Amino acid sequence: MKLLALDPRGALDPRTGITTSQLDECLRQLEAIRDDIVELDPQQYLSGEIPLEKRPLDARFSWLPSEILGDYRTSPETSELGRIFEVANRLHDQVDAVVVLGIGGSYMGARALMESLCHPYHNELKRGPRGSKPRMYFEGNNVDNDASQGLLERLAHGGYGDDPAESRWALCVISKSGGTMETAVAFRQFLAALRRSLGDQAPQWLSQLVIPVTGESGKLHDLATALGCGEIFSVPEGVGGRFSVLSAVGLLPAAMLGIDCVQLLEGAIAMNEHFAAAAPSQNVVLQYVAVNHLLEKHRGATIRVLSAWSKSLESIGLWYDQLLAESLGKEGIGATPLTTVNTRDLHSRHQQHQQGRGDKVFNNLIVQTPRQDPLPVGHSALDHDGLNDLAEKTLPDIMTAAIRGTNDALHADGRPTTNILLPEIDAHVVGQLLQMLMLATVVEGRLLGINPYGQPGVEQYKQNMNRNLGRGTSR
């Protein structure tokens, strides 16, 4: 399997970007941080002897892919991944839709996996073309009245055929505590709707169609136990929500959609091995951190634009926005992440990006080989649009020209770029990319002297919201 690559040359300019000597010096710093993450973090986490400055140390995400895959290969049926596959395969025959309830890291990773690896119109396909995989929707991530009502109405309409499964749907609720307001309210509402939809069959079906991913104890765990849920999956200890995409939090929805979870984990493991062993000058994680950090330090590039050159990668960008913002946005510092999709957003943002404030770096996310056969422009007898000279060109040809043209325009105005090159979009490459971005976030946190784990600022809004609802803040 090919590994993704990073081309930083668009940022190596002594006039407007960084110098190779600055890059080399930073990479030497990062090598020591890398060794600490690879060698010391696991020892300190497993021993419980964690230095004060590293607490909390939610570092288990880094070796979790090997842990999950190793358990599965040792005990395919009783391992967590084996249980995930059993539930997913059962649901394929029982329901036509699944609603994933969660907020932040409890749903953004799953959505990123769906939108990057499934057919772009998966939910609109009939059951056969979907391979009997369920349609999937995401709620519990807001308190938007009309969005929730709209989804409840959509679920009531059922699927596209007469099979009994077309009229049934399931709930996958993801919350470590079960107490997060948005998800808890949605679960109460959607659970009631699911029970009503099942009618007199509710006693038979309800416990099979509610699949929780939660902590070993807490409100959601207690409710799932009371409902008699056949399977309760765990949000792993030592893994923060925004780092949980390659745990049951992301793998369970992915398996329901038929995504190759083994390849996702294999891709993450390949990135871990590369991160641990590759020389700094060849290490995509360290190179990515160094270039972005130096541009922020020396050129004031405090806004990091992830320019996704494929619509399917937009949700990965939004997942990364949360990862970077909550991990590094502390103590008055931390870059601001922004995801764009091109060429779409060139027609709404590019004027400012090219000639507005020079506070941005553009990290292009480029897919080198599309999944589908290249679609040609085609010949027209009328040639009403004057495109017959491009008749033999394909959409990938136009995309390649647009990427080069945009980079050239940015460079002409002194705007730095990097290219993250994905060989293709498949489960292995997506697993690599997710793990690369999580590792890079931890490395940069250590470089900045910030603990990338924990999110103390988020708690304040929760307390204020409860107070405004007339409730105590201790709930």
Taking residues 168-191, what's their average pLDDT?
95
Task: pLDDT band for 138, please (50, 70, 90 cuts).
Answer: very high
Residues 249 and 275 both lie in one domain: no
pLDDT of residue 475: 56
pLDDT of residue 473: 56
Which of the listed residues 218, 245, 263 is the one where a domain comes to its end?
Answer: 263
Q: Is the residue at 473 inside a domain?
A: no
Residues 33 and 79 both lie in one domain: no
Active site residue 326: yes
Residues 192 and 88 both lie in one domain: yes
Q: Which two tokens mark 431?
A: 């697993």
- Nearest in space to 246 (alpha carbons), one of 452, 437, 54: 437
Tell me: pLDDT of 347 over 70: yes
Task: pLDDT band for 469, please (50, 70, 90 cuts).
Answer: confident
Residue 472 CA: distances (Å) to CA of 44, 103, 458, 466? 37, 22, 17, 6
Q: Which of 231, 326, 350, 360 is catalytic?
A: 326
Tell me: pLDDT of 337 over 70: yes
Q: Which two tokens mark 406?
A: 């945009």
Q: Which two tokens mark 342?
A: 């091109």
pLDDT of residue 177: 85
Q: Who's near 32: CB < 8 A, 6+ residues apart?
A: none
Q: Is the residue at 44 inside a domain?
A: yes
* Percent of the chain's residues with pLDDT above 70: 99
Q: Is the residue at 224 inside a domain?
A: yes
Q: Which of 49, 53, 347, 384 is catalytic?
A: 347
Tell me: pLDDT of 457 over 90: no
Residues 40 and 95 both lie in one domain: no
CA distance 331 to 236: 28
Q: Who's near 223: CB < 8 A, 6+ residues apart?
A: 178
- Look at 223-227, 259-263, 440-444 and tell me which has the smallest mean pLDDT: 223-227
Task: pLDDT band for 96, please (50, 70, 90 cuts).
Answer: very high
Tell me: pLDDT of 378 over 80: yes
- Nearest in space to 364 (alpha carbons), one of 404, 398, 319: 404
Angle between helices 261-277 and 248-256 (to 10 degrees): 140
Task: pLDDT band for 464, please (50, 70, 90 cuts).
Answer: confident
Residues 131 and 67 both lie in one domain: yes
Q: Is the residue at 471 inside a domain?
A: no
Q: What is the pLDDT of residues 291-330, one digit of tens each?
A: 999 999 999 999 999 999 999 999 999 999 999 999 999 9
* Percent of the chain's residues with pLDDT above 90: 93
Overall domain count for the chain? 2
pTM for this one?
0.96
Residues 66 and 215 both lie in one domain: yes
Indicate the SS3 state at residue 40: helix
Parallel, antiparallel, or unpaired: how do β-strands 417-422 and 5-7 relate?
Answer: antiparallel
Which CATH number belongs to the domain containing residue 128 in this structure? Answer: 3.40.50.10490
pLDDT of residue 179: 86
| Token pair 């201790």: residue | 474
Active site residue 25: no
Q: Which of 54, 219, 411, 462 is catalytic?
A: 462
Residues 259 and 269 both lie in one domain: no
Q: Which two tokens mark 196?
A: 């009503």
pLDDT of residue 381: 96
Range of the domain at 14: 5-49+265-448
Taking residues 117-145, what's their average pLDDT?
97
pLDDT of residue 162: 87
Taking residues 168-174, what's their average pLDDT?
98
Q: Is the residue at 100 inside a domain?
A: yes
Please give the DSSP secondary-structure letter assigned to residue 143. Answer: -
Residues 246 and 342 both lie in one domain: no
Residues 254 and 277 both lie in one domain: no
Strand order in the sheet with 5-7: 5-7, 417-422, 360-367, 303-308, 336-341
Q: What is the mean pLDDT of the chain?
A: 96
Residues 368 and 416 both lie in one domain: yes
Neighbour count for residue 295 (Cβ, 10 Å): 24
Q: What is the pLDDT of residues 39-83, one digit of tens each?
A: 999 999 999 999 999 999 999 999 999 999 999 999 999 999 999
Residues 86 and 171 both lie in one domain: yes
Active site residue 347: yes
Q: Is the residue at 257 inside a domain?
A: yes
Residues 24 and 164 both lie in one domain: no
